[in-house]
Amino acid sequence: MLLGAHVSPAGGPANAVGRGVDLGCTAIQIFNQSPRMWRGRLYGDEEVAAYHEAFDASPVDALVIHAVYLINCASDDPEIRDKSLAALTLALRAGDQLGARGVVLHAGSAKTGDVGEAIARAGEVIKEALAESESCPLHLENTAGTGGTLGRSFAELAALIDAGGGGKRLGMCLDSCHLYATGYDVRTPESLDGVLEECEREVGLDRLGSLHVNDSVTALGSNRDRHAPLGEGEIGEDGIATFLSDPRFQDLPVIFEGPGFGGKQAERRDMEAMERLREQGLAARG
């Protein structure tokens, strides 16, 4: 398992590698542009070369790019649709440049409209973005279910993948906090087995490309996305240890985002907590 954190790419993506190394990461996640602005760009040749040089010389084995929050592939507003398509395509092309394991995407929101129609609209944008980029995978993230967000269940993730063309580049990123917020209990090996069995039936675990490990401030089924420090929330130490030690997650990049994601940066103690809880979970499984 590749344990890591969301880090800043300020000054260029090579600096993100250095920040990950300082934290003790073997995987990192970055935004390819400001998460709260539409304006973006591709990396220059020198930035790309410097990134690959830093990456190849480091213990970091996986990069994940998180697409910007503004994207709503399901919007029925033509302007938002076009901006979402452009931003998603840019993120996938950045992933091509940097050899990312995938781009993680919140597909969008149905708000008060028909969910099926929203999924169909999102699928069209996803298909176009994939067609306008080369090979970087796209990982659709499950959501906490607030505000009509799509991907609240494995059935919705499967529908989004189908609407997006169902190709091999389409996968998923599972977030422990979001799973818990939508009623999926991940706190024990037995309950997590049930969750992953449903995921296998509805989507297929071969689609699983990355993970977010976050604890939850709010209760099971709350539909609220509020992160707690690892082991200090409702999922708790034993639950996080269970999630981090599941053998089906072996070799995947597992990213800690942390409280105030997008604000407070991960610290080395967060990485140390991940490593400790993974070892605790492995010991408990025997």
Q: With b meaning 16 or more CB within 10 Å and e meaning fewer, what string describes 16-25?
A: bbebbbebbb
The residues assigned a catalytic role are 36, 66, 69, 106, 141, 175, 178, 212, 225, 227, 257
Tokens of 82: 């076009």
Compute the distance between CA of residue 74 and CA of residue 110 in angstroms, rounded to an integer: 7
Compute the distance between CA of residue 60 and CA of residue 144 in angstroms, rounded to an integer: 29
Q: Could you tell me the pLDDT band of residue 260, with boundaries at 50, 70 and 90?
A: low
Q: What is the pTM of this model?
A: 0.96
The radius of gyration of the chain from alpha carbons, rounded to an integer in Å, stands at: 18
Q: What is the mean pLDDT of the chain?
A: 95
Per-residue pLDDT tens over the stretch 161-182: 999 999 999 999 999 999 999 9
* Residue 209 near residue 172, CB atoms below 8 Å: yes
Q: Based on the structure, what is the number of domains in the chain?
A: 1
Compute the distance between CA of residue 140 and CA of residue 144 in angstroms, rounded to an integer: 13
What pLDDT, on the 0 to 100 scale, is given for residue 261?
56
Compute the distance between CA of residue 133 and CA of residue 96 in angstroms, rounded to an integer: 8
**Domain of residue 27, CATH code:** 3.20.20.150
Domain, as residue range, for 101: 2-285
What pLDDT, on the 0 to 100 scale, is given for residue 198?
98
